[in-house]
Chain A
Amino acid sequence: MSLGSIELGKHPAAVLRPLQFRSVVIDLPLLVILLAISAYGFIVLYSALEENSALLLRQGIRLAIAFGAFLVIAQIPPRVLRRWTPWVFCLGMVLLALVEIRGDIGKGAQRWLDLGVVRFQPSEIMKLAVPMMVAWFMHERTLPPRFSQLFVLLAIVFTPALMVARQPDLGTALLIVAAGGITILLAGVSFRLIVAAGVLAVGSAPLLWNYMHDYQRARVMTFLNPETDPLGAGYNIIQSKIALGSGGLFGKGWLNGTQAHLEFLPERSTDFVFAVMGEEFGLLGLLLLLGLYLALIGRGLFIALQAQETYTRLLAGALSLTFFFYVFVNAGMVSGLLPIVGVPLPFISAGGTSMVTLMAGFGMLVAIQGNKKLLAP
């Protein structure tokens, strides 16, 4: 809710741009799919939150704010967005630095910035600002990026990512790197370089290990062998696998998930809500969700392919593919494919900021789609 209000404060002028022909810019397919996913998510949360009406109301408000952000941002012409990109990025960097200096501590990590009225995570801005900045940088230049330009791009991605990782928030840092990295890949970096980067990443793993916090190392170790510590670090993943597996094809039925309702499954309304869904609605319920997600991503990629300039094309593609990354990392973590990283399930997990960020991103997609004819070369 917080990020939304920041963005809102900045954009009334944009909405009133004379270039706007239609009164409201909207993409119907995107809106329908987003509403479907949100509704589905709300149903699952109703169960995961133990029918707690106060918590459900808060989630409803967050959803409303996120949709508000989605609609507002959809009205900002991509040209304006592009022009503001460096400033948004710089603002994000300043806020990250502020967190570094004087941030609130929540759950043992320094992520939050208290602005008096609202508390929010500046790292969320970076999830959007980094791909925007990469797209902005390449917009003025020729694709694919030259080798020297690549260093600038990497700096754009890794400077904020490292700052976020230091908070420490490995999950968000990972998402920032993913968003920026995907944008760079879309910009046309040669596959040889990608392979080289991959080799470098594997090579730097031991370095990364030294840099990690104990709990992060524990998560990796747990991922490699969850059964070693069934009551400690491995507990989450064991219980979430039991929840998923015991759901079977059709699930135990709505509100009947024993793993979730008898408190065996931790983080059931946030990071592990995918397991609640799998337990209560079974494989079919999960496939429905994945289908909706893929439809959303497909529409996003369609918009990206139709986009007419480098900035919008790169941004639309990056936002869509990053979204897939979110889904895969969360589902992979819950089902035991990937280590446990604090990545919420998009539009389903309870919690405000990441949903607002995601909706804002889809708002940009709508804007890109809605304004393309007007901006034809």
Chain B
Amino acid sequence: MSAAVPLKDHWKEQRLFFTRIVAAVVVMVALTGVLIYRLVQLQIVDYQTFADLSQGNRLRIEPLPPTRGLVYDRNGKILAENLPAWELVLIPEQISDLDASLDSLVELGLVDVEDRPALLDLVRSHRRFEHVVLGTLSEETAARFAVRRHQHPGIDIREGLVRHYPYGASAAHAIGYVASISTADLELIERSEYAATSHIGKTGVERGFEFELHGNAGYRQQVVNAQGRVLLDPASRSDQVDSTTFGGGLETLWPAPGQNLVTSLDMELQLAAEAALGEFRGAVVAIDPRNGDVLALVSTPAFDPNRFTTGLSQQDFRELNNDPDNPLFNRALAGTYPPGSVVKPFLGLAALFYASIEPNGRSMCPGFFMLPGNSHRYRDWRPQGHGLVDMHDAIVQSCDVYYYNLAVELGIDKIEQFLKSFGFGAQTGIGISGERRGVVPSREWKRRNFSRREDQVWFPGETVITGIGQGFTLVTPIQLAHATAVLANRGVGYRPRLVIATENGTTAERVDLEPVGIEPLDIDDSQWQYIHDAMAGVTGEPRGSGFNTMNDAPYSVAGKTGTAQVFSIAQEEKYDAENVSERLRDHGLFIAFAPIESPTIAVAVVVENGGGGASAAAPVARTLLDVYFMGTEYVTREH
């Protein structure tokens, strides 16, 4: 800086000022350049990014749930429907403290404290903008919450549809139930299809036909403001914004309702069979041999599926799960039982087919059987024996000794092959989950399923007891019913099915499903006839094991009783039902088909720990057949 000048030098000051202005303009132009560069970057270079962000800001896609298909019985009775209900929903993005929100719901009594962890998982498995259904509320609790709604931001009640099963526990195992989608379910489904759906089929037809029942989800685009409030919803008329302003190109895709299912079940039969089983644990399966239609599928005890749809509490679920009678267990499909004597018609047919035995040749039944060179006595259920019996008598009277011998003559390999051709040892393919395969034992099976080398060998004695359906053989009630149907229809079988037709949810157009045939068994007609006659004898001849129950039936019926040992009795010991604890009592089994000449129904009954097949299982089949042929009125009149 120069030395002080006493007088103002105007020219110098003006020049100084001018250079400063020039410098300022340079800086100004530079800064303006920076600003414009920035604006170009935002508005031109990154335009698409910000345009998308802005679009994402204003548009929200609201998924729309499809209406679940209805389920009917074969006569059009509704087995599963959708009823309006109040749902408690939570919107994660509007919740600041999830724990506190759930606590407040527990306090209000809307959520069970034990369900908290599960609900927490449920909420966390959803995306922030998805509505999570916490449960269904009764009219009263919904009203109670409604007045406090403002205290619970992010929690709301909304009208929804809840699955309802008018018959309650009846046919629960066949129809199944829906419940909240679990984290495990999420991995199996197309998430976008379920964005607005809270429930999913868990068992039975509800699960097996989930895809058909569910339908296709829709969606609608809504314009929302910064607070998430919906300003424009093409589906509602109460628009707060003129639709031409921001509503351009809003899309709505209405959901497609699921298909209605017509099941093969006949609820009259179903209810009759359930009533006939009474307090017993057991299963009943009735099949139409002409097409595989499952007319009744009973497993007792059952449960009320409506409890699941409204949100079963942890405690309730534990109770159901820990019940020693296991009501959630589907005995008809997953219960495996030794077939006992009901296997005899099949093995008899096998002996005829393989010509291992002369059916009319009589052999002596002394009340026990011994393998050559072995002193072990295989006892007949009748200690004094049946005397001289041929195959017909052996089936009618259920002679064990004849079948011990028959099994030995056949050999385990042929037994295995023949039983498998009737569907034993494999799933029948009824189309609902949880079906077990059971066991048809063989040399190969023993090798695979026993770890100790000495146990892997097939012993002749094991063949002997296989002849009366004991030992390793295990069958499910559905397998028994199916095999009986094939037997009734003389080898022409159909895969058992629960759904016979679908109905378009919108147009109600009905599509009948074709029965699926299985490979027919090529067996001589006279051989079928022999077995049919013998089974007719079981119910029709005075010495027949089913005579007392069935002889006065006003229709022709063929059957076979079976009694399966739950635990083995030592040699020389007598089975005494009175002294054996209830759980160790014999299972009673009965198979039947009717009318004999042209069968329209085949039945399998298993009564767990019910005692003998003739006393426990046959009456159940009788009731079922009476209702089937004579109607419910006849049955109530006669009994």
Footprint of B on A, CB under 8 Å?
142-144, 146-147, 182, 185-186, 188, 190, 239, 241-249, 255-256, 258-259, 261-264, 278, 282-283, 286-287, 290, 294, 297, 301, 304-305, 310, 313-314, 317, 321, 324, 328, 331-332, 335-337, 377
Question: Which residues of A lie under 8 Å from residue B24 when comparing CB positions?
Answer: 182, 185-186, 301, 317, 321
Q: Which of B50, B225, B226, B245 contacts A245 (CB 8 A)?
A: B50
Instruction: Give the CA-CA distance A332 to B57 in the complex, in Å.
Output: 24
Known contacts A146-B1, A186-B21, A301-B25: A337-B35 contact under CB 8 Å: yes
Question: Which residues of A lie under 8 Å from residue B38 when comparing CB positions?
Answer: 332, 335-337
Q: Which of A239, A245, A255, A305 contacts B43 (CB 8 A)?
A: A245
- Chain B, residue nearest A241 (CB): B42
Instruction: Give the CA-CA distance A302 to B25 in the complex, in Å.
Output: 11
Q: Which of B16, B36, B43, B54 contacts A259 (CB 8 A)?
A: B54
CB proximity of B622 to chain A, nearest CB, Å? 72
Contact with A along B17-56 (1 / 0, CB 8 A): 1101100110010011011101110111011011101110
Question: Which residues of B lie under 8 Å from residue A244 when comparing CB positions?
Answer: 39, 42-43, 50
- Chain B, residue nearest A185 (CB): B20
Q: Are the CB atoms of A188 and B16 closer together than 8 Å?
A: yes
Question: Which residues of B lie under 8 Å from residue A328 when comparing CB positions?
Answer: 31-32, 35
14 A-B contact pairs sorted by A residue (CB < 8 Å):
A185-B24, A190-B1, A239-B57, A245-B49, A245-B50, A248-B47, A258-B57, A262-B246, A283-B39, A283-B43, A290-B32, A332-B38, A337-B35, A337-B38
Q: Are the CB atoms of A294 and B40 closer together than 8 Å?
A: no
Of all A-B residue pairs in the complex, the 10 with the closest CB atoms, nearest first, are A245-B50, A246-B54, A262-B225, A263-B226, A283-B43, A245-B42, A246-B50, A264-B226, A246-B51, A248-B47
Q: Are the CB atoms of A248 and B32 closer together than 8 Å?
A: no
CB proximity of A21 to chain B, nearest CB, Å? 25
Q: Is B220 part of the contact surface with A, judged by Cβ < 8 Å?
A: no
Additional pairs, 17, CB under 8 Å, beyond known A262-B231, A305-B21, A310-B13: A142-B13, A144-B16, A188-B17, A241-B42, A241-B50, A246-B47, A246-B51, A249-B43, A258-B246, A263-B226, A283-B43, A305-B18, A310-B8, A314-B17, A321-B28, A332-B38, A335-B42
Question: Which residues of B lie under 8 Å from residue A146 when comparing CB positions?
Answer: 1, 4
Instruction: Give the CA-CA distance A278 to B50 in the complex, in Å.
Output: 12
Known contacts A143-B17, A258-B246: A294-B35 contact under CB 8 Å: no
Question: Which residues of A lie under 8 Å from residue B36 when comparing CB positions?
Answer: 287, 290
Q: Is B147 part of the contact surface with A, judged by Cβ < 8 Å?
A: no
Q: Are the CB atoms of A143 and B43 closer together than 8 Å?
A: no
CB proximity of A315 to chain B, nearest CB, Å? 12
Q: Which of B214-228 contact A (CB under 8 A)?
A: 223-227
CB proximity of B636 to chain A, nearest CB, Å? 68
Q: Which of A143, A147, A377 contacts B13 (CB 8 A)?
A: A143
Most A CB atoms within 10 A — which of B9, B13, B14, B34?
B13
Q: Are the CB atoms of B44 and A249 closer together than 8 Å?
A: yes
Q: Are the CB atoms of A144 and B1 closer together than 8 Å?
A: yes
CB proximity of B547 to chain A, nearest CB, Å? 82
- Chain B, residue nearest A145 (CB): B1
Q: Are the CB atoms of B47 and A245 closer together than 8 Å?
A: yes
CB proximity of A279 to chain B, nearest CB, Å? 8
Question: Which residues of A lie under 8 Å from residue B569 when comparing CB positions?
Answer: none
Q: Which of A142, A245, A247, A249 contacts B5 (CB 8 A)?
A: A142
CB proximity of B192 to chain A, nearest CB, Å? 25
Q: Which of B21, B54, B224, B227 contacts A243 (CB 8 A)?
A: B54
Question: Which residues of B lie under 8 Å from residue A246 when comparing CB positions?
Answer: 47, 50-51, 53-55
Question: Which residues of B lie under 8 Å from residue A190 when comparing CB positions?
Answer: 1
Q: Are the CB atoms of B35 and A242 closer together than 8 Å?
A: no
Q: Are the CB atoms of A142 and B4 closer together than 8 Å?
A: yes
Most B CB atoms within 10 A — which of A243, A256, A262, A337?
A262
Q: Are the CB atoms of A147 and B1 closer together than 8 Å?
A: yes
- Chain B, residue nearest A182 (CB): B24
Q: Are the CB atoms of B20 and A242 closer together than 8 Å?
A: no
Instruction: Give the CA-CA distance A258 to B36 in the complex, in Å.
Output: 23
Question: Which residues of A lie under 8 Å from residue B307 when comparing CB positions?
Answer: none
Q: Which of B20, B49, B231 contacts A186 (CB 8 A)?
A: B20
Q: Are the CB atoms of A248 and B17 closer together than 8 Å?
A: no
Q: Are the CB atoms of B4 and A335 closer together than 8 Å?
A: no
Question: Which residues of A lie under 8 Å from residue B223 when comparing CB positions?
Answer: 262
CB proximity of B22 to chain A, nearest CB, Å? 10
Most A CB atoms within 10 A — which of B1, B5, B51?
B1
Instruction: Give the CA-CA distance A98 to B256 in the complex, in Å.
Output: 72
Instruction: Give the CA-CA distance A93 to B549 in the complex, in Å.
Output: 115
CB proximity of A179 to chain B, nearest CB, Å? 13
Instruction: Give the CA-CA distance A119 to B5 in the complex, in Å.
Output: 47
Q: Are the CB atoms of A297 and B17 closer together than 8 Å?
A: no
Question: Which residues of B lie under 8 Å from residue A331 when comparing CB positions?
Answer: 35
Most B CB atoms within 10 A — which of A241, A256, A258, A335?
A258
Question: Which residues of A lie under 8 Å from residue B447 when comparing CB positions?
Answer: none
- Chain A, residue nearest B46 (CB): A245
Q: Are the CB atoms of A262 and B224 closer together than 8 Å?
A: yes
Q: Is B58 part of the contact surface with A, judged by Cβ < 8 Å?
A: yes
Instruction: Give the CA-CA distance A337 to B32 in the complex, in Å.
Output: 12
Instruction: Give the CA-CA distance A310 to B10 in the complex, in Å.
Output: 9
Q: Are the CB atoms of A332 and B39 closer together than 8 Å?
A: no
Q: Are the CB atoms of B8 and A142 closer together than 8 Å?
A: yes
Question: Which residues of A lie under 8 Å from residue B10 when comparing CB positions?
Answer: 377
Q: Are the CB atoms of B17 and A242 closer together than 8 Å?
A: no
Instruction: Give the CA-CA distance A242 to B18 in the complex, in Å.
Output: 41
Q: Are the CB atoms of B49 and A256 closer together than 8 Å?
A: no
Question: Which residues of B lie under 8 Å from residue A304 when comparing CB positions?
Answer: 17, 21
Instruction: Give the CA-CA distance A297 to B25 in the complex, in Å.
Output: 10
Q: Are the CB atoms of A294 and B32 closer together than 8 Å?
A: yes
- Chain B, residue nearest A314 (CB): B17
Q: Which of A143, A258, A335 contacts B16 (CB 8 A)?
A: A143
Most B CB atoms within 10 A — which of A143, A247, A321, A337?
A143
Q: Are the CB atoms of B42 and A259 closer together than 8 Å?
A: no
Q: Which of A262, A264, A313 contacts B17 (CB 8 A)?
A: A313
- Chain B, residue nearest A191 (CB): B23
Instruction: Give the CA-CA distance A351 to B42 in the complex, in Å.
Output: 27
Q: Are the CB atoms of A301 and B21 closer together than 8 Å?
A: yes
Instruction: Give the CA-CA distance A232 to B18 in the complex, in Å.
Output: 47
Most B CB atoms within 10 A — which of A142, A186, A263?
A142
Question: Which residues of B lie under 8 Å from residue A259 when comparing CB positions?
Answer: 54, 57
Question: Which residues of B lie under 8 Å from residue A263 when comparing CB positions?
Answer: 225-227
- Chain B, residue nearest A194 (CB): B23
Instruction: Give the CA-CA distance A328 to B28 in the complex, in Å.
Output: 9
Q: Are the CB atoms of A256 and B245 closer together than 8 Å?
A: yes
Contact with A along B54-88 (1 / 0, CB 8 A): 11011000000000000000000000000000000
